[in-house]
A and B are shown apart, each in its own frame.
Chain A
């Protein structure tokens, strides 16, 4: 298709309204060297891409290889560009668009502190149970819940805890992996 048929597509007069914004989860395998995280974050900041969530950890200690899970939003063209920009980085082994490739699991862990007394405290505990959250710390006036699940499940739990005395939240960001026998190559 020519540019003409693509709508404006102009670097100058981008008409963002017409283009649908998508959320994609990318898995990036990279050398665990100093500066790799800075280089990746710098790419997103410098080129104006969004990061909704980013998690990173060394996954193969012997090979010094890290896995990044990046949740990002943008038009289809921007997502393709992000993939290409990541892939051409010298320390990056491979980039996979888990959203584009189909079925995948995304999980996040949250620690949620709820302070309160009386009925609210009982209700918080009951809801925690319903969400299969574990109580990992308790005092007479507080609970800390540990919860894993999809990000929207955690969002929902947090919103339910809001009126029940929620005071603090710590979330890990998303870790993701494809379903089935497919393996991400490094």
Chain B
């Protein structure tokens, strides 16, 4: 083969990214990836966004992926560059977010020699990736990168790592395109079993108290899945609740919507879960935040579980009818069977089920005591929602009380509009995720609903937003506490608030200005609307310091170790209730 037909490893990387349709890479340079950065310099197809810390790059890639349905791509150097990505990889693993991380590695002959900035990247990232590769031969590089995208995007999506030694980046080899890439040992099943679909319809058609419980799998399956889900709900009239990760698949304004379920879910959603007779789990995984106490979880129900990952079936909750399939294919099959049979649910039972649900709704579980002097955090989210709901808005969050209030009070009408760290619960996710979302949707309004503690974990990425003129709005629900930590200390540890007070908080307004952005502050309910409008109308990145009631807690709540019908409601919780809500066994739980 003539030399001119060969490409260097670094050229192959950029060519493969371009052929995969990658528009943005979030990364940080270093010694072991310099050849790849040199190629970035010499091309214009793939835009590189320089982050301030590699963890930020991974969360940006996650936000990018979640808001577009595409694969997120991050790039880091060897050693510390790679280890800084571990949190983001694990986050993507638990929330099934497709991500390709490319890392540089020390040259092949130095591997194992404890070289400068060497670490065992594939070893360290093995448990937090769906698959990873160390590329030792430049002629395997193109194939491996294409395989990496294929593995990340198909089946249950997830993060993958391609580790490329520096000498392989310099070496010349042959490029092969993405066409016809197959991984023989990896063929995820996406079509549902016909018998299972028939059995599911048999079961649903006889249900008296049916309930749909949907999750992030609906979002991952694509827009078509949400469309089919809405059609199924409209056709069947079955009430629907969703996990944190699934919000937006069914609109919050929809007739059958019960709100989110689980530990901080609505009373109606959790009571309906407890009392339903047929549960249809669509793309959710019976997480412990959802089920609460397992031996009292929906005790009188038959369960149907649609999941693309066979290992999710019967992992924590025994189900009656497993359907291993892609959500959209399973929903399409259920709809077809439903229509073919002309199923009609028993109107009398469905009606009495819905009246029961209306009774639970009338409890108004999200109500809180309004306050004219200080901004209640719930009120802050409500106003943020009211003032942004008609716009093209994307919401990300950090982790903690503000995250749960956002899930409760911000109402999502469409999928891919809500980016949050559900499984891993990564404080510091939201700001970089917002930057990633904004890179994908430059004209949209992207808001990170943040907490004062979380936001400081990845604060430096505000500088990235400034550099690339990505006008993210960081809405800090500032209560001067790690609020959820404090809430648990109140619940479990006799109100001894060990290290949960955010002392020495920075002046967020001055901090924003120091970065070259805009800082806003509001502490009066009467001034909140105007301040939010000012935030929206400010062209560049904004840090909004929303000073809220310091001691508000997040309710309703299923205390750990309790069942769905043992919720603590916010309005009538006394300090004594809070102190005795969790028994000795529950205290050991997380």
Contact = CB atoms under 8 A, between A and B. Distances in A.
User: Do A and B come from the same complex?
Assistant: yes
Contacts of B560: 12
A7 B79 CA distance: 48
Interface string A1-21: 111101111111100000000
Contacts of B132: 35
B309 A31 contact: no
A42 to B, nearest CB: 5
B31 to A, nearest CB: 24
Contacts of B320: 1-2
Contact of B311 (A3, A6, A39, A84): A84
A89 B11 CA distance: 30
A1 B559 CA distance: 26
A36 B134 CA distance: 12
A42 B120 CA distance: 15
A13 B295 contact: yes
A38 B295 contact: no
A80 B130 contact: no
A173 to B, nearest CB: 23
A2 B155 CA distance: 28
Given A12-B561, A88-B311, A3 B126 contact: no
Nearest to B317: A3
B294 A8 contact: yes
Interface stretch (A90-98, A127-135, A136-144, A158-166): A90-98
Most buried by B among A38, A84, A92: A84
A87 B310 contact: yes
Interface in A71-88: 77, 80-81, 84-85, 87-88
A34 interface: yes
B209 interface: no
Interface string B122-154: 110011001110100000000000000001000
Contact of B126 (A38, A77, A92): A38
A26 interface: no
A46 interface: yes
A30 interface: yes
Contacts of B131: 89-91
B310 A90 contact: no
B318 A2 contact: yes
B288 interface: yes
Contact of A90 (B123, B183, B316, B589): B183
Interface residues of A, number: 32
Contacts of B311: 81, 84-85, 87-88
Given A3-B318, A88-B310, A10 B294 contact: yes
Contacts of A80: 314
B313 interface: yes
A4 B134 contact: no
A4 B316 contact: no
Nearest to A31: B185
Contacts of B183: 90
B226 interface: no
A39 B126 contact: yes
A122 B337 CA distance: 76
Given A77-B314, A84-B311, A34 B185 contact: no
B21 interface: no
A10 B293 contact: yes
Contacts of A13: 293-295, 561, 585
Interface stretch (B296-304, B343-351, B433-441): B296-304
A84 B310 contact: yes
Contacts of A87: 310-311
A4 B295 contact: yes
Contact of A88 (B298, B303, B309): B309
A93 B185 CA distance: 4
Contacts of B41: none
Contacts of A42: 126-127
A7 B294 CA distance: 10
A165 B302 CA distance: 61
B134 A34 contact: yes
A31 B186 CA distance: 10
B85 to A, nearest CB: 18
A85 B296 CA distance: 26
Instruction: Give me the 8 closest cross-chain CB pairs, A-B, nearest first.
Output: A84-B311, A4-B299, A10-B294, A90-B131, A8-B295, A93-B185, A90-B186, A84-B310
29 contacts: A2-B298, A2-B302, A2-B318, A2-B320, A3-B295, A3-B297, A3-B299, A4-B295, A4-B296, A7-B295, A9-B318, A10-B295, A11-B291, A12-B560, A13-B561, A13-B585, A30-B185, A34-B134, A35-B122, A35-B132, A38-B126, A77-B314, A80-B314, A81-B315, A87-B311, A90-B151, A91-B186, A93-B184, A93-B185
Given A3-B294, A12-B293, 13 more contacts: A3-B317, A4-B296, A9-B317, A12-B294, A13-B585, A35-B132, A38-B123, A38-B126, A42-B127, A90-B185, A90-B186, A91-B185, A92-B185
